[in-house]
Structures are given as C-alpha cells and as structure tokens.
Structure 1
Amino acid sequence: MGNSFGKIFKISTFGESHGKGLGVIIDGCPAGLAIDEEFIRTEMQRRKPGQSKITTQRKEEDEFQLLSGVFEGKSTGTPIGMVIMNTDQKSKDYGHIADKFRPSHADYTYHEKYGVRDYRGGGRSSARETAARVAGGAVAKLLLKHFGIDIKAYVSQVGHLKLDKSYQELDLSKIEDNILRCPDTKKAEEMIDYIDSIRKSRDTVGGVVSCVVTGAPAGLGEPVFDRLHAELGKAMLSINAVKGFEYGSGFEGVSMRGSEHNDVFYTDESGKTRTKTNHSGGIQGGISNGEDIYFKVAFKPVATIMIDQESVNEVGEAVTVSGKGRHDPCVVPRAVPIVEAMAALVLADYLLISRTNKL
C-alpha cells in the first residue's frame, strides 16, 4: 500500500504527524554491521523541527528507540525496528480545517481515496513521516560507509537566489556550518535573510537541494525498468513537496551537442576506466559507471501559509481557510538529510542486489 521502499534493503514506515509516534522497520540489513546509535541520533537531529528561525517551531527532539535487530552493537540480520515518539503535538491548531480542504495539500485527495482522513497536521501525508525515513537511511549510510560510499546534500537554491557553483567548486565540509546547510557562507546569509523576510510576510518559498554520491562502484543498477537513476528519481519524488528531479546535465544538457555532451573514456594511472567529463551524472544505461553520481531535487513552497485562502469543504461549500499552526517557511534546510537518506536507501539496496547477481 505504498508504505515500503526497496527490494533487498527494504524499509516500511508507519505513523502520523499527530499520532503517538512514528517508526520504521528495516529488513534485509546484513548481519554484522556495526550500528552506531550516536550517528543515527545525529542524523535525526539534522532533520528535527525547531532548529532555527527559518524552520517550524514545533519542538520534537526526535529521540528514537531501537527495538530489535541489534545485539551488542551489531546487526543480527533480522528486522531492525525503531520508533520515534511524538511529544509536541498541538492537534487543536487544526480543528478549524477538520472539514475543509487546504489548497495544494493532500486533504482532498486523501478524502477521495479513503473516505476518511486525519486532518491533524495532514496525518500520514505530513512531512513528519520523513523522520522514519531518516532513521532507516542512517542505517543505510552505515552500510555504505562500510564500502567507502559517501553521500552529501546541500541547499543550492532558495526562490530566485541560486548558487552558481558546481559541487566540485564547493567545500562540502562546510554544509553544516550554517542553519541553511549551504556550503557557500556568503550566499547562505543572503538566502537566510530572504527566507526570514518571507516568513515575516506570512508566506513561504521553495528551493533546490543538490546531492553528490562519491565512492560508488561501477555496476550498480538494473536494465530497463529498474535503472539506477529511475529509482533515485522515484525516491526523491516520494518526498513531500518535491516537484522536480534531474541528474547529470539534466535539462541543461538539451542545449549541448552530442560531441560536447559525450563523456569520453580513458584509462587512468591505476588502470581504471574513467570518463574525462561527467555529463552522465555517474550513470550510463541505468547503471553506475564509477564516477560521482550527482542530482538536484526541487521543492515547492510549503502549502500552508499564514494568509487566508478560498477553498471548499467536504460538501462542496465555499469556505475560507485560515493558516494556523507551526510550519516551515521553506523546507529545504531540513530536506537535506531526507534527500541523503533516500539516496542512501537506493544505493544500499542496489549494492546488495549487485552482490547477488554474479559469482
């Protein structure tokens, strides 16, 4: 029913924004992997609400409980279960829209699909659900680290303000140096001020998260329908508020000629096959070629704004929807660890698949 992701390294998530809590079950994690709980906690802290003036002021520490699948600090090969309890719900903030459809939210579509919906913060459609993904993705990251694969995402655009540098030109060690998670300090300050001005005007704004995967070996991915970039696209488009995904040269590549766009092969000093350029984004024919995998994810403005909007209720009557509650003026600072988590889940899955399809 759309609550699970992956084939071998597989997660299933549960829980709602204003329910008792959320959780994830990770199935397929190999036995013997060192499970660093402090690392998982750090990843959860990167996504949690209430981090700064440019994020929602809901106060959730997002502490997790490890229930199963780990013994003496290592995975046992059995399902790993984790729960994250909700502690700062204010469901009364949503009583005014119990029978109203908020513009651009999932209220109407959930009502049409199920005939019932949890209106408190959007229930299962809330971005709060991604806390469980980050927990599962943290374990995937630990597996990838074991094989020398690293994933880093950062904010590269907010509204019309764009970071006009490639990831190779940036010091990605500075991603966590500011509340926006943009490695360019000067541009980050400009973007932060812009988001704060949007917040003060009771509105919201969108942005872009860029991501790069280094250390991935050649050969990850499957032909035709299960191409690596197709699965990455699915993973990213499953994240709340995502409206676009592009990898490699993306849409800019259409303005290039084949003679410009082709990534020419050569053999490096160690005898490894490489490409002189990487317009392919590390993926050719749906399979990784050993170069860096890089992509961008576009996030729309948060649908809940603190400005009255026209809408209808469940019986089709015209109503006014008033924005209330605690919401992000821009999702991208907290989306960074979510993008990394979903990329890690895809790469971990394909890494395990690649180890089963040949001698």
Structure 2
Amino acid sequence: MSLSPDEPVVTAISVEERVGSPDITVVVPCYREVDNVEPLVCALEDALTGRDWEVIFVDDNSPDGTIDVIRRLARTNWRVRGICRIGRKGLSSAVIEGILASSARFVAVMDGDLQHDQTRLGDMIDALARNRCDIAIGSRHVEGGDNAGLANAWRHALSNGGIRLAQMMLPVHVGDPMSGFFALKRDLFVRTAPRLSGQGFKILMDIILSAPEKLRVEEIPCTFHPRNAGESKLDAVVLLQFVGLILEKLFRGWLPLRFIGFATVGLTGVGVNLIVMMLLRSVGMDFGLAQEVSTLVAISSNFWLDNKLVYSDRRLRGMRLLGGFLVFLLVCAVGAWANIGIVQLFRAKGEGLGQASAAGAMIGVVWNYAVSSTLIWKAR
C-alpha cells in the first residue's frame, strides 16, 4: 500500500493497548537544563501527536536538579525516561548511551535547550520510514532553514568554521554537518557504534565518517531558535574537539582523539618553555635556573590545558586537582629521563641528532599519555 505525502508513517497506540517499545525514541543529552525539561516534553507531545514515541533524557548528574524533574515527569508519563550518569560526561557518549538504551525502530537526537525545531521531527522520521535516506538531518543551511538562534557573531563564526572544515572531509555533501538534530534507524546506529570515538560534542560527523557504508543523507530545513533557558555549551573547546575528531578519522583510529589532543598540548608546552626561557634570560637570570623555571611553567601549562581540554570529561577539581598536578610532575620527570635515554641510545647506534631527538620525543609523549590516562585522569 502506498503512502500519501501527508500520511504519518508511524501511528500511536493507546496506553491501554501498549505492548513493547515505542517506534520512535528521542534522545536528549542534557546538563544543567532544569528549566527546559518540562517545556521540551510538552513541545514533543505537540510535535509527535499521532505517533508512538518516547523521550530519553541522558543527564550528566547536573547539580541543578535536572534529573529530579525528569523523574517527576516519568512517574506520571510513560513516554519520559531518564538516565543519570555519574563520573561520565560528554554529549557524544551521552547520545551513544541513550540510543543503546532504546529498542525503537527510529531514534532522533536533539538538544535539551529548545533551540532545535521539534516540529520537523515528523518529517525526519517519515523520510527514514519511506527509505528516502539513511540519516535525516535538521539543517539550518538549506533552503528554508535558519540559524538566527546562535547567540552572537563569535558563535556564528565557530559554527561556520566547523562546517567548512567538515565539508572537506565528509564522503557525502552535508550542508549542516555541525547539526546536533538528526534521526536514523537504530539498527544502523548499533552497527556503527563500535567505530565511534564517543568524545566531543559533534556526534553527527562521527556517525557519518564511521558508518560501515556510505550513507544517504536528507536534510530537512529547520529553524534554530534562541535558547529558552540556561547557558550555551558552544565554545572554542567544542571546535578544538571537532578538529581532533577529524584528525582521528584521518588516521583511521590508529591515533585516538585524546592522544592527538595530548600531543598537541605537549607542543604548546615547547613554545611556552622557549618564551619563558627567553624572558628570564633577558632579565639576566642564570641559564640553569631559567631552564628549571621555564620547564616548570611549561609543565604547569600542559597540565592545565590537559585538564581543561583533553580530559574535560574527567576534569579534576579541588584536592584531586592538586594531587593530580603532583603526579603529573613526577610522570613528566620520568618521561624526560626516558627521552634523554632514548636519544643517547640512538646516538650510540650512529643515528643523527634529528632522528634520535624525534624518537626520544615520541617515547616521552607516549609514556606521559599512557600514565596520565591511567593514573591521573583515569575513567571513573
């Protein structure tokens, strides 16, 4: 039987007749969205009228009581479900957990701040159900779309920069690869999930690059609304993580995203070391003392950037921050000792200084990364 253009593909059933899982799961990763949960559920009820759906909120243990509101709604509304994650953070990993907790045929992902146009969810699901595409994207950058809801020129620049970068990498043309509003069949996601990095904020790009086959994409024009409440999470860190994801995919997973970030921070430490050394020498400080001070400053800079950017999902605070810094100093000292030893070994075998230094540096950064990930920023 053919479907008319306006006929919903997935229809609802009554609560009394309810058996099994819904056909549609909307996954909403959230953090500090206490004032947006109830309005979003109401908006979804309007947008998905006549369809069989549920919403799964994945909350990273928000201190504002977001999960409490979700649980209160869930007690009287079977469509609402909540996952509270403790010791784990990050949008991409939250999306993965939310989708894998679903048994629905179709899964959609949207933010919890009411900026995504939930009225287009039906069109996105119908595009999948009619097999027009493998993934349907709510797009701000096709005819009829609008991204006026981005807060300021800085956020527009971040978004546009990420889009241009992503479009150079993707195997298919996507007008809005930075979108966080999309839908796909759950079985496709399950086949793709083992290949995902699970890090950063832009999981759509990760899915398209990691899928076992080239995906057919349909972009549904949508309006990006101003945030309803709370604060935006889009900042320079998001774009840096996005660049790291692209590099990881270029290396086909041989270099993990976190290692790329860790090594990049290490390179900035070299620059910090040289700048501080030159400044201290310019004011007459003894070379040996200047070297020690500049090294300490560079290590401190590396630790702060790693904690802020590379391990943002495992960020240390309070006394754990101090303890982590002391261990980091020890780890870097051992890494420097290993670096020197490797250089001497390669030089003894007749290798040039450049090759020996490169080998020593590589051994040092691998050591620092492995031990830091295991002892300092270990997963909890």
In which range does the TM-score fall when normalised by the shorter chain?
under 0.3
Larger Rg: 2
TM-score normalized with structure 2 length: 0.24
In proportion to residue count, which structure has more strand?
1
What is the TM-score normalised by the length of structure 1? 0.25
Query: Which structure has the highest helix share of the two?
Result: 2
